[in-house]
Amino acid sequence: MYTEKMVAEAVKKVLEQLNTDKNNSEIKVGVSQRHVHLSKEDLEILFGKGFELTKAKTLMGREFASEQFVTLVGPSLKSIEKVRVLGPVRKNTQVEISRTDTFVLKVSPPVRPSGEIENSEKLVIVGPKGCVYLKEGVIIANRHIHLTPSFASENGISDNDYVDVLVEGIKPTKFFDVQVRVRDDFNVEMHIDTDDANSAGIKNGDKVTIIKR
């Protein structure tokens, strides 16, 4: 026979465990603005022979926000100016924009993990010294989470797992199928674009909760 006191104690323990699990799996949000990653070849076409990016701010691991900007031009000649270039240079040039940006540029890029650019969208990149016609490389980045190996291990998560993410606050929601990437030079952070951030009413530094499947 359960007494009222026993039930109350059981409920208390469950709530304490839920709060503990939640705190352990809470991570920070980083809202990603539209940006460009350039190959060395395209960097020199856009900015000049031998040009090197100037670091403005360290982001994560080797990646940094540079002081350089380019203009994106779509097939209808509509453009978006002041798009920041991220460094260091990569093997292939990649442009990451939001769905809202596609309405301006009149392009239809796929939603992809970073680096998966085969058969993606095209456009023109304009720099101070020249232009690059990008035949593929324009994507909408998928929602993803960066984790350190220690955080991933403590929470039973592996590289390339897919998890759901709970967003609490003024516009509560849940993001499904969020890709996890684990690397020792990562910060613990979920990256979403401005469209997702605005729809959920969240900003840089807000906390969300990983929900394992």
Separate counts of helices (H) and strands (E) for the chain: 5, 14
In sequence order, the 6+-apart residues with CB closer than 8 A to the CB of 22 are 209
- State pLDDT tens for residues 60-93: 889 999 999 999 999 999 999 999 999 999 999 9
CB contact at 8 A, 46 and 73: no
Cα(31)–Cα(161) distance, rounded to whole angstroms?
21
Query: Cα dihedral angle (43, 185, 139, 84), rounded to 10 degrees?
Result: -50
* pLDDT, tens digit (0-9, with 9 covering 90-100), for 147-198: 999 999 999 999 999 999 999 988 999 999 999 999 999 999 999 999 999 9
And the tokens for 150? 């220690």
The DSSP call for residue 38 is E
Backbone angles phi, psi at 134, to 5 degrees: -90, 110
pLDDT, tens digit, 9 for 90 and up, residues 89-135: 999 999 999 999 999 999 999 999 999 999 999 999 999 999 999 99
| pTM to 2 decimal places | 0.85
